[in-house]
Chain A
Amino acid sequence: MVTAGIEAATEPSSLHLREVCKTFRRADGAEVVALDRLTLDVAEGEMIALIGPSGCGKSTLLRMIAGLDRPTSGSLRVGSQPIDGPGAERGLMFQDPSLFPWKTVRRNIETGPAARGVLRSHRGEVDEYLRLTGLEPFADSYPHQLSGGMAQRAALARALINHPKVLLLDEPLGALDQFTRMRMQDEVVRIWRARRTTTVLVTHDIDEALYMCDRIVVMTPRPGRIERVMDVTLERPRHRNDPRFLELRAEILEMLHFAGDEPAEAEGVAS
């Protein structure tokens, strides 16, 4: 399998969030608490999901782990290293693939090594990632010529080639159609199992979280808090129709008040 060549060059690392708070000031001067004293540990090589309705602060949290935003208080560490600004050891992928439109697929994937000045020694690896993501025939295409799924795979390859210690996925498959999405879920799991990169997946999709992750962190909005952390002990590869899968699914729906026998309290919740 092609994954042989992409054994982790960097050891994955654990992630520690302690009492993380984030408040925003609205235009009218009122303070909004986006995250309220959030504490969470993610083990090395673990894949966890953050789920919850819009406004529960999951994307804010991800941006803080990426170093793009700073917490109002509390601490974030990768291993023993405090997070201080963005860096190549924490890869981030958004729902919008955000490929650089002026670069070909190959050049997009090369961005990380080029930015770190190590492109010369990584050229062979670029080919490997093109092969891994099935993008070899499109290496010289521009992003606007790609389908949504191909663009997401290119964005994934671009994030992975840096061998991040932690991979942050912000609804990476949210904009894809159902079939492409399920295929991409398998793809991400396959790469993750080969690399064992510590991964934090933000998603709206309960099935996606159950299918892919070791643990699911269910969050509630205003202020953003952890409602519950649920272990998913189903063995891999998982099956979407496994009765235990469906049981866990029902449990999460219950927790989010979407089981059906009582009216939903939280508004603005996507599937």
Chain B
Amino acid sequence: MTLATQLAETKAISPGRADRGAAERRRGLSSPAWALAPAGAAALGLALHLALPDRQPSAALRPFTGLLAAMLAGSLAMAALGRTSGRPGAWARHRSPLAAGIVLTLVAWDLLTLKLAWLPLPYFPGPDRVLGAMWEDREALALSAYHSLRLLACGYAAGAAAGLACGVLIGWSKSARYWGMPLLKVIGPIPATAYVPLAMVMFPNAFISGVALIGLAVWFPVTMLTSSGVADVPAAYLDVARTLGAGRAHLIFRVAVPAALPSVFLGLFMGLGAAFLTLIVAETLGVSSGLGWYLKWKQGYLEYAHVYAALAIMSLFFSGLMTLLFKARDRALVWQKGVIRW
């Protein structure tokens, strides 16, 4: 079946056909062939990796051989798990095509670089060299990741706290809105990174100016969405709470803020994205530590394997934080229709 017909099949909306399409798709993705695909891809990759001669210098420890072996073992375990019933088994069946895709991508990367040398060095090192760089420079990378995390955590916490406070104030109080909104409209849209020249002279050290920049980047979306969430709380909730004897504090913190939470979380997500961007810019421009700084330092020496290693760690690190925030939101908004998962 070509991709086009497959798409047509899955997108068929007419009743009956849609059901059949979904059933076929399910069957297609969980068939025994798919269950063994990751293991097959890993075995193929390992065979090619061992059989073909290297056309580029490889890392001393040959870590990619180990990774391929580990992936082969993992894929076999996954295939075995997929044969069991229950949730872990279903998860393994659902994820095995994806796992196969990931393994194949790594194998293709290995072939294009180390084995065929179709991509030029030093800009495109193979997975072997990147893994080697990661291992060899593990202390500096761990320290950089720690510094990045510390700066990000301080900046994000400061920005989110300030944003929540300002957002509630502007959303609730008319006079705060009168004075606050114009200020927000003037300051907010400027990217926080534009303040780098200012931040470097305004604060006693690079760490504090980094915190300030990230905080500013987070503060704007959090303030904006918190205030609109609080201002848009249905009047009926507030009326009912008033007739139940609620005072101002109760109205703000027990009615308006919980009702505004979906909007607040939107602000927190946007803030996190802005925080990542600002973190890396701040680290490459002023702060002399962290993953962004490491990236620029290694690029200066044309050590691209290290650059990719840092990028890979950054990706894990950022997507992990995003996932954490998603989990927090799902917990806090369990009452929302459609978000419910027990």
Contact = CB atoms under 8 A, between A and B. Distances in A.
B236 A98 contact: yes
Interface stretch (A2-10, A108-116, A174-182): A108-116
A102 B247 contact: no
B336 A98 contact: no
Given A101-B335, A103-B335, A115-B250, A92 B259 contact: no
Nearest to B338: A144
Interface in B246-268: 246-247, 250, 254-255, 258-259, 261
Interface in A65-110: 66-68, 85-88, 90-92, 94, 96, 98, 100-103
Instruction: Identify the interface centre among A66, A92, A98, A159: most chain B CB within 10 Å of its CB.
Output: A98
B317 interface: no
Tell me if B's interface is mostly helix, strand, loop or mixed: helix
A66 B243 contact: yes
A88 B245 CA distance: 4
B44 interface: no
Contact of A96 (B236, B250, B261): B236
A102 B335 contact: yes
Interface size class of A (residues with CB under 8 A): 20 to 34
Identify the 9 closest CB pairs spanning chains A and B, nearest first: A88-B245, A86-B242, A115-B246, A112-B244, A92-B243, A98-B236, A102-B335, A116-B245, A102-B258
Contact of B241 (A85, A101, A115): A115
B318 interface: no
Contacts of A111: 241, 244, 246, 254
A116 B246 CA distance: 7
B245 A87 contact: yes
Contacts, number: 74
Nearest to B251: A115
A133 interface: no
B240 interface: yes
Nearest to A161: B244
Nearest to B239: A68
B250 A98 contact: no
Contacts of B237: 98, 100
A100 B277 CA distance: 37
Nearest to A143: B335
Nearest to A63: B239
10 contacts: A66-B239, A86-B239, A91-B243, A92-B243, A101-B336, A102-B261, A111-B254, A115-B244, A142-B334, A144-B337
Given A96-B236, A102-B261, A68 B335 contact: no
Given A91-B244, A98-B236, 18 more contacts: A66-B243, A68-B239, A88-B243, A88-B244, A91-B243, A92-B239, A98-B239, A98-B240, A101-B336, A102-B259, A102-B335, A103-B335, A111-B241, A111-B254, A115-B244, A116-B245, A142-B335, A159-B243
B181 to A, nearest CB: 23
